[in-house]
Copies of this chain bind each other. A is one copy, B any other.
């Protein structure tokens, strides 16, 4: 019997252990002083390791644990007997979800797979690490039995009739309902939804996929009656999943030509080329439900020698945490799949202290390799001299608590400045619901405060290091960084579909806070980035407000190699202080140029921009393009 063996081991070691019972608010707590034990799970639990692991972790209050080890092997984890909790997860869906590793209120715990592979089934979060300190997960490979995305090989197309045909392997069961295809998984299904083309020869995003994808799945519903009369008292987020269908209907139709071969009608862009693989992951707002690691309110997390082959969401999403180190933490696909994780490889929201990504590979994920930012919350009620009602504006920020008592809050009015006009500190946050919280500050709000102003946590940004990583074959960006503290990006290799590095300030869509300052980008290789086809730079600074206010400061881009098939390398805007030096720019010839009219560098609304000792061997007829009204700068 599975349990008896494991528990025999526990009893033996317990003889030497002094155990304290800590019960606190019915939350599981580990022993913080005294002896705690190392638990070993053996392959006897491999058919479904969930119940044994959950049971031992939940009894850590009585029998403290310092280490959980697994005899090397392959372990399956099913959701059926997992510990369940409702999780509001930033940049994911919010859901009741089960985990085999409910690491909550733990301190100084190591989970060592000893080279094991963990195979997950259905909607689960493998590692749920909350309100903990010094947690390390190492030497483990994570995969899913069935992926949360599906793939179809394009075998024919007809641009005149606007159809394309694809074969769908047995790995991706499907059914067709009312001319719509649905991919059926263990415990999950998805529609076509969000799509992109992969080139199986390169195992990377297809060159110029923008010409063919996204597949146009939706169109406006033609019949609507009386809906304009519905009256919402408060801000209504029509982008939220509950409104996703409102006003829209399906544009595509799908017919089965024979089992495993379907014809798709109604796509508006160019038909996808034969030989490419269409990856489909279902509708936005519904398809990020199983990140591999969720880390929140945790001080100190190490992920070392971890391989994540798949996740229905991100590899790791960390929120409100500090001192996070990922070393040899690799995102790569398995089983011949084109796709690894279906969203970002890594993502950090409101994180501080050191955040380190090193010696890692982030390949084939369906979103950025990393994304580092805070959260703007919108003031909707002034409830007192020092008291605000705030609203979470983007549905993927629901439930996010902006900070802890005494942390520094910046008051921001983006139309005036990308930097805060005043600072206060948190006294208390009353969580009313996932969209609405009441924040009391230690200081009174300034006279100039207006309802509608945003708040951001100025203590919620990290010292960021991205070093010696391989980033590419993925959809979207490499690094998406809104960090006003310090950022060093060095010794990396980029081969991304969109920007290798995007540094934005934005407010109106994602409400992801943070400008950027003190960014060093050095000794990296940029190889054929932006091959998806967008007309944008490999490194790009961007704001979504059309003004000349400074958003970015003190930037160094030095000693990098840009070996690109196309011209545009760097786009600078709203920047004060950027030095671009010692870089080598060549033309790779890998793909045909798509935007040959471009210069290598575009600069606008910026000052103190310097170019020194760069080597340009590219094909642009004009290397540097300055926006009208800018002071003359030389490219050297």
Contact = CB atoms under 8 A, between A and B. Distances in A.
Interface stretch (A218-226, A476-484, A521-529): A218-226
Given A233-B121, A246-B189, A389-B81, A176 B222 contact: yes
Contacts of A173: 225-227, 229-230
A356 interface: no
A506 to B, nearest CB: 25
Contact of A78 (B83, B186, B234, B242): B234
A182 interface: yes
Nearest to A99: B433
Nearest to A231: B186
A221 B78 contact: no
Interface string A169-209: 01011111110001011111100000000000000000000
Chain B CB within 10 A, most for which of A25, A51, A184, A434: A184
A259 B225 CA distance: 6
Interface in A414-467: 430, 432-436
Contacts of A436: 80-81
A174 B227 CA distance: 7
Interface string A45-81: 0011001001000100000000000000000001011
A13 interface: no
Given A84-B433, A260-B225, A383 B242 contact: no
B82 A432 contact: yes
Contacts of A26: 25
Given A25-B26, A432-B54, A177 B249 contact: yes
A190 B260 CA distance: 33
A383 B81 CA distance: 13
A257 B214 CA distance: 34
A598 to B, nearest CB: 41
Interface residue tally of chain A, by bracket? Answer: 35 or more
A221 B389 CA distance: 48
Contacts of A510: none
Contact of A383 (B3, B187, B256, B433): B3
A227 B48 contact: no
A230 B435 CA distance: 38
Contacts of A435: 80
A258 to B, nearest CB: 10
Given A189-B246, A225-B259, A383-B3, A84 B434 contact: yes
Contacts of A249: 177-178
A462 B234 CA distance: 44
Contact of A184 (B177, B227, B260): B227
B186 A232 contact: yes
A247 interface: yes
Contact of A174 (B174, B225, B383): B225
Contacts of A21: none
Nearest to A250: B178
A334 interface: no
A16 interface: no
A168 interface: yes
15 contacts: A78-B233, A84-B434, A146-B230, A168-B225, A170-B229, A173-B230, A174-B225, A176-B223, A177-B250, A178-B178, A178-B250, A184-B230, A184-B246, A223-B256, A225-B259
Interface of A: 3, 25-26, 47-48, 51, 54, 58, 78, 80-84, 86, 94, 96, 98, 121, 146, 168, 170, 172-178, 182, 184-189, 221-227, 229-234, 242, 245-250, 256, 259-260, 383, 389, 430, 432-436
Given A84-B434, A175-B221, A175-B223, 9 more contacts: A48-B233, A82-B432, A86-B96, A146-B230, A170-B229, A173-B226, A175-B225, A176-B223, A177-B245
Q: Which 3 A-B pairs have the closest CB atoms?
A: A84-B433, A173-B226, A177-B249
